[in-house]
Amino acid sequence: MVTSGPPNLYRLTLQFNIANEISDSAHINFGIRKITSHRGSDASSPQLGGGGNFNLQVNGRDFLVRGADHSSDLLYRYDEGREAALIGYVKELGLHLLRWESTISNEHILDLADEDGVPVMLGWMYCNQWEKWKQ
């Protein structure tokens, strides 16, 4: 499996106090990463307008994207077991990025992806956006 090291998640606890009483609280996991992108100088890439390859770096290291596209259940049925299996398939196939082609039905799958260090890229909601690319 391709790996860029551990996901290094941190636990954040937030509390809001009103008149010395906790009015609301939250516990979330989060990670800190620096993600940068640039185009290579290869002018022989007509699919990219001659601008070369699209390159990503994560925390200053080159990141070769080897990923898959994912669409949620068409009826948006929520199934934690299905989501866990999906992340397992990504890892077993040696992939390390998931791209969503629709809305995310539940944040549970994002938590699973974070825990396993699988980046998620959200796709566009409308299939005709490429038609207006120059705008």
99-113 pLDDT tens trace: 887 667 678 888 898
> What's the pLDDT score for residue 62?
82
The residue type found at 131 is E
Answer yes or no: are the C-beta atoms of 2 and 14 closer than 8 Å.
no
90 assigned to some structural domain: no
- Chain mean position to CA 123: 10
Pairing of strands 61-63, 54-58: antiparallel
Collapse the DSSP code of 14 into the 3-class scheme (helix H, G, I; strand E, B; otherwise coil) and give the result. Answer: strand
Whether 48 has a pLDDT exceeding 50, the answer reads no
Tell me the C-alpha distance between 126 and 102, whole Å.
Answer: 9
81 assigned to some structural domain: no
Tell if the pTM clears 0.85, that is, is over it.
no
Which domain range does residue 55 map to? 33-64
59 assigned to some structural domain: yes
Whether 28 has a pLDDT exceeding 90, the answer reads no
86 assigned to some structural domain: no
User: Which residue's entry shows tokens 């490429």?
Assistant: 130
105 assigned to some structural domain: no
Whether 84 has a pLDDT exceeding 90, the answer reads yes
57 assigned to some structural domain: yes
> What's the pLDDT score for residue 13?
94
72 assigned to some structural domain: no
Query: Considering its fold, how many domains does the chain have in total?
Result: 1
Q: How far is CA 108 from CA 8, 50, 92, 100, in A?
A: 18, 39, 20, 14
Q: How many CB atoms lie within 10 A of CB 90?
A: 22
